[in-house]
Chains A and B, each alone.
Chain A
Amino acid sequence: MERKIGVYVCECGPNIAEKVDIDKVIQVISSDKDVAVIEKFKLLCSADGKKFLEEEIKKHNLTHLVVAACSPKEHEKTFMEVSENAGLNPYLFQLANIREQCAWITEDKDEATKKAIRLIRAAIGRVRYHSSLEKKEIDSNPDVLVIGGGIAGIQASLQLARPNRKVYLVEKAPELGGLATNFEKNFLSMKPLQEIINGKIEEINTNENIKVFTNSEVEEAVGFFGNFEVKVKRTDTEDEPAQFNVGAVVVAIGSKLFDSEKIPKYGYGKLDNVITSLEFEKMNKSGKILLKNGKPPKSVAIIHCVGREDKGYCSEICCMYSIKFARYLTDKIPSVKVSNLYSDLCIPGKTNQKFYEETKGKNVNFIRFSDAEITKSKDQLSIKYNDENGSKTSLTVDMVILAPAVEPATDASKLAEITGISQGDEGFFEEEHEKINPISTSTEGIYIVGSAQGPKNISETLVQSEAAAGKILSSLIPGRKIEPEVKTSQISEALCIGCKTCLSVCSYGAITFDEAKKISVVNEVICRGCGNCVAACPSGAASIKHFKFKQLYQEIREAVK
């Protein structure tokens, strides 16, 4: 097929024109093979410039377009649109950066001109081997699977469900509510939490767009953004698993507490009246804060940071709920003496310090400590510890409440395998980007919220659940097709030797292995086009559209001249 490449050099005012001898460039390149036309223009990105290009493409029936101008980061999109408007496939275009990476950095005009010629010839050589690429469109399912019926899953479900978007909410336990149902109050507001949770559960139960599965677990969730196939099995019956499709998955399986028995010196599990924070919450909610002997405690110590050293992170919520516990205690047992033993008081957030200051007082004592050990002392408990000066001292109390670290839920690894998302070193699910994409995972369409993503309080959990809803509402729209990345990897059936190296290097899980044919297959919907598999492939079977070897080869050829 005859190629007609149109080459247009932008003067960019004086920016390129003064540093590069454009006339010389034109003179040298005009006789190059396949160059149908080469012209200069004052400012190609202007309205006039774009109109000029469009007319040129049509006038000369150009098969390819090369523009020598500024950085592709500035105007690649602009000129691709121009091509498209002129009826030329936008991928049959190449932009040669002769401004930022030539005119603006090269002192000598002669050298700049020679370099511009190299860059433009590289673009011409490359574009010859460009293929027309079309945007793909695939149908998507707007429904959502929410795994975990605690406060996170509940909030996400309520935000998402509507007539054109069904939510499937799967909960392992017999009832919805999760950990938060054990708390009488939430710190800060100190208002009864059960009412709020019950209200939300009521909303869920009366919402005809939310299907709730209790006593159930997700067995399978395979696929990709817009198209996940799900199997949910009831754990209390022998029924066949329910099967349905969704477009997105929200993982909200919560967390559990570090096992305090792992720290023998705290005496948990051995000594009476040493209890964990969760046990205390339950005790408090039941209305009776009592020792093993049936009497209310006269003195209580709350030990922060239990297991912090073992886990290697601060669990964020413990200082605040320990302050809350002090309030529970002094509200319910007016004469009780409470001692909070802490290492660093972690109370970020605008109203948290006030909450702390209004709690400490005559009967609530905050003691900085290190190295504590709890032993029986008659019918009380003796806590030996180092105070903030490092001196050994001790405290005798009736009851000790331990604030253990927050850990990933027991099922975290299982869920990670089922969904294909990864866990970080600490076991919590790993977000796509720590700062600017904390809800997404590297698997598009699967989101992580709540303490499953990392220890956090209820307020932050609600924000994350709504954030996941925001992500889904903005990217998975009923009726709208999904447009995946165009410049994806492809694996030649003929050349693939079945070594599976590409599978191991793909950060996105975009490659699967076809056991029948014994070859690797790229899922072009998931592929992000990085090219890692291409470099890893020992047989040259993998290639990336628009960054194929033969295209880059042309650039190399010119670059060394």
Chain B
Amino acid sequence: MVEKKHNTDVLVIGAGIAGIEASLMLSKADRKVHLVEKTSYTGGTTIKFEEVFSNMECSTCMVAPRQQELLQDNNINLLTLAEVEEIKGNPGDFTVKIHKKARYVDMVNCIGCNACFEPCPVSLKNEFEEGLSERKAIYVPCAGALPNVPMIDTENCLRFKGKKCTACQEACMFEAIDYNQKDEKIELKVGAVLVATGFDIFDSKKLPNYGYGKINDVYNSLEFERLYASNGPTEGKILLKNGKPPKTVAIIHCVGRDEKGYCSSVCCMYSLKFNHYLKSKIPDVKISEFYTDLCIPGKSHQKFYEKMKETKVNMIRASNVEVAKQGKEIAVKYNNGSGKKGTLAFDMVILAPAIEPSPDASKLAKTLGITLDEYGFFQQENIEDSSVVSSKPGVFIAGCSQGAKNIQDSVSQASAAVGKILSIST
């Protein structure tokens, strides 16, 4: 009987920080990598942050060199706007079917000049910017997005809805816009799969006591990240809806913790980071952090907390938090550590919602044939052993898709998964 040759190519699903790390490492080992990314850009959620804890390093500076390396790496076949539809076979011999949506912009011809945006007559809320600013139907999600090639949102583009419009094509001097592009079905053969599809945040609207979606100037963490971002909707100016900077801000931890049943591990640290964000732009701002248990493990994290305490942030251990409109301000009612009730008024409230599995996780789990745990994250096969091994041989999991964690741990899991993949004897 002829031994089937073990395929050494790897499918990585998700081009966030974990997927990028894994792809670059695999490429270094001369493996061919097919990197499938659902959106039109790489970097995942990490590129939404201006700075990361605990050294407040610029997030773009950290990720951009890797994104650029990725784009120029000949071993990595980046497939954006793509999703896995089907997988058959066994470790060493998987056949994967990918559905790749058309971008309608040629990735070779396009030089990223952005001339096609201005003439587009359609304007709508930009999802990347958490709805805080608008984009056109032909767009890149943010300045500096990589690959720096726009896509056409066919659901909102006039032409794709049957109207006559060639505004973007007329503006392009490089013949990069091609309305005739078609979605593709791509079949790949790989030996191993790494799932690094990231996370979503708990929808704070589900908890009416926080006023999210009802009261102006109540933001969730991702919205606030974009407000602070220098390439964001306000170029980094932290402003209330009335256009003025806030004088008082409340940051509320643990939103959705009870509902989800776990601690999301990063929120205390990024809430302290938000304190730093606010103080750096608005030195006189008064900030109160409402938390239940301060979760700051890690050798450098408490130092950062001590530094933040020096900025006179008001740390309040609180339960039963309620956010309500009170005249021109926002009232935060709470029970303090001793059970006594208190109320404080603020201009702005920032919520730190739980990290949850991304909405596509269960569909992907079914497609891949891997199990989910009771929280909806991808489940590791054996709780005693490595957390990157899924329930299906040959399929590995890394990053927040396996459970809420910070960047350091996501990157470590990506490396570990690569270690597992490379140590499979071929």
Query: Which of A11-19, A202-210, A541-549 participates in binding chain B?
Result: A11-19
In the complex, besides A348-B404, A353-B263, A475-B29, 20 extra interface pairs with C-beta distance below 8 angstroms are A13-B174, A188-B383, A191-B384, A308-B302, A312-B303, A313-B303, A347-B263, A347-B293, A349-B262, A350-B404, A353-B262, A354-B262, A433-B62, A435-B62, A436-B17, A466-B386, A470-B420, A471-B419, A475-B25, A475-B28
Query: Which of B85-93, B119-127, B182-190, B407-415 participates in binding chain A?
Result: B407-415
Of the residues B63, B261, B300, B411, contact of A424 by C-beta under 8 Å:
B300
> 24 A-B pairs, CB-CB below 8 angstroms?
A43-B111, A159-B419, A186-B384, A312-B302, A312-B303, A313-B298, A344-B294, A347-B295, A348-B263, A348-B265, A351-B262, A351-B373, A352-B263, A435-B411, A436-B62, A436-B63, A462-B386, A463-B387, A466-B420, A467-B415, A467-B419, A469-B423, A470-B417, A471-B415
- Cβ-defined contact, B262 with A314, below 8 A: no
A347 to B111 Cα, complex, angstroms: 48
A133 to chain B, nearest CB (A): 20
Does A426 lie at the interface of the complex (its beta carbon under 8 Å from any beta carbon of B)?
yes
Q: A-side interface residues toward B, CB under 8 Å?
A: 12-15, 43, 45-46, 70, 73, 77, 159-160, 162, 186, 188-189, 191, 196, 308, 312-316, 344-354, 368, 388-390, 424-426, 428, 433-439, 454-455, 459-460, 462-471, 473-475, 477
Chain B: CB-nearest residue to A425: B303
- Cβ-defined contact, B413 with A312, below 8 A: no
- Cβ-defined contact, A473 with B302, below 8 A: no
Cβ contacts under 8 Å, B417 to chain A: 466, 470
Given contacts A314-B302, A462-B387, contact A350 B62 (CB under 8 A): no
A14 to B29 Cα, complex, angstroms: 41
A477 to B26 Cα, complex, angstroms: 12
- Cβ-defined contact, B111 with A438, below 8 A: no
B199 to chain A, nearest CB (A): 11
Chain A: CB-nearest residue to B52: A435
- Which residues, 395 to 421 on B, are CB-close (under 8 Å) to A? 403-404, 406-409, 411-420
- Cβ-defined contact, B425 with A162, below 8 A: yes
A507 to B55 Cα, complex, angstroms: 18
A455 to B409 Cα, complex, angstroms: 13
A473 to B338 Cα, complex, angstroms: 54
Does B81 lie at the interface of the complex (its beta carbon under 8 Å from any beta carbon of A)?
no
B345 to chain A, nearest CB (A): 25
User: For B54, B55, B68, B295, which residue has the most chain A Cβ atoms within 10 angstroms?
Assistant: B295
Cβ contacts under 8 Å, A186 to chain B: 384
Does B296 lie at the interface of the complex (its beta carbon under 8 Å from any beta carbon of A)?
yes
A12 to B66 Cα, complex, angstroms: 26
Does B375 lie at the interface of the complex (its beta carbon under 8 Å from any beta carbon of A)?
yes
Chain A: CB-nearest residue to B148: A74
A134 to chain B, nearest CB (A): 21
- Cβ-defined contact, A434 with B300, below 8 A: yes
A13 to B312 Cα, complex, angstroms: 55
A316 to B54 Cα, complex, angstroms: 16
Of the residues A13, A468, A474, contact of B111 by C-beta under 8 Å:
A13
Does B297 lie at the interface of the complex (its beta carbon under 8 Å from any beta carbon of A)?
yes
Chain B: CB-nearest residue to A165: B423
- Cβ-defined contact, A467 with B299, below 8 A: no
- Cβ-defined contact, A43 with B386, below 8 A: no
Chain B: CB-nearest residue to A73: B68
Does B6 lie at the interface of the complex (its beta carbon under 8 Å from any beta carbon of A)?
no
- Cβ-defined contact, A439 with B415, below 8 A: yes
- Cβ-defined contact, A470 with B293, below 8 A: no
Cβ contacts under 8 Å, A468 to chain B: 415, 419
Cβ contacts under 8 Å, B72 to chain A: 77
Chain A: CB-nearest residue to B409: A460
Of the residues B301, B337, B422, contact of A473 by C-beta under 8 Å:
B422
A295 to B99 Cα, complex, angstroms: 68
Given contacts A348-B265, A438-B412, contact A189 B384 (CB under 8 A): yes
Cβ contacts under 8 Å, A45 to chain B: 111
- Cβ-defined contact, A467 with B423, below 8 A: no
A160 to B425 Cα, complex, angstroms: 11
B219 to chain A, nearest CB (A): 23
A43 to B113 Cα, complex, angstroms: 13
Cβ contacts under 8 Å, B222 to chain A: none
Does B252 lie at the interface of the complex (its beta carbon under 8 Å from any beta carbon of A)?
no
Of the residues A313, A344, A352, contact of B301 by C-beta under 8 Å:
A313
- Cβ-defined contact, B293 with A428, below 8 A: no
B173 to chain A, nearest CB (A): 4
- Cβ-defined contact, A434 with B55, below 8 A: yes
Cβ contacts under 8 Å, A475 to chain B: 25, 28-29
B348 to chain A, nearest CB (A): 26
- Cβ-defined contact, A463 with B68, below 8 A: no
User: For A313, A345, A455, which residue has the most chain B Cβ atoms within 10 angstroms?
Assistant: A313
User: For B28, B297, B301, which residue has the most chain A Cβ atoms within 10 angstroms?
Assistant: B297
Cβ contacts under 8 Å, B412 to chain A: 438-439, 460, 463-464, 467
- Cβ-defined contact, A390 with B303, below 8 A: no
A483 to chain B, nearest CB (A): 11
Cβ contacts under 8 Å, B423 to chain A: 159-160, 162, 469, 473
Does B118 lie at the interface of the complex (its beta carbon under 8 Å from any beta carbon of A)?
no
Given contacts A13-B174, A434-B408, A466-B415, contact A346 B62 (CB under 8 A): no
Cβ contacts under 8 Å, A465 to chain B: 416
Cβ contacts under 8 Å, B265 to chain A: 348-349
- Cβ-defined contact, B385 with A462, below 8 A: yes
- Cβ-defined contact, B295 with A348, below 8 A: yes
Q: B365-390, CB under 8 A of A: which get 1 and which 0?
A: 00000000101010000011111100
- Cβ-defined contact, A14 with B173, below 8 A: yes
Of the residues A316, A344, A470, A477, contact of B419 by C-beta under 8 Å:
A470
- Cβ-defined contact, B418 with A474, below 8 A: yes
A208 to B251 Cα, complex, angstroms: 57
- Cβ-defined contact, A463 with B409, below 8 A: yes
Given contacts A350-B377, A469-B423, contact A474 B28 (CB under 8 A): yes
A345 to B417 Cα, complex, angstroms: 30
A347 to B297 Cα, complex, angstroms: 9
A433 to B63 Cα, complex, angstroms: 12
A436 to B406 Cα, complex, angstroms: 11
Q: Which 7 A-B pairs have the closest CB atoms?
A: A470-B419, A348-B265, A467-B415, A316-B297, A466-B416, A469-B419, A389-B338
Given contacts A464-B416, A466-B388, contact A344 B411 (CB under 8 A): no
Does B306 lie at the interface of the complex (its beta carbon under 8 Å from any beta carbon of A)?
yes
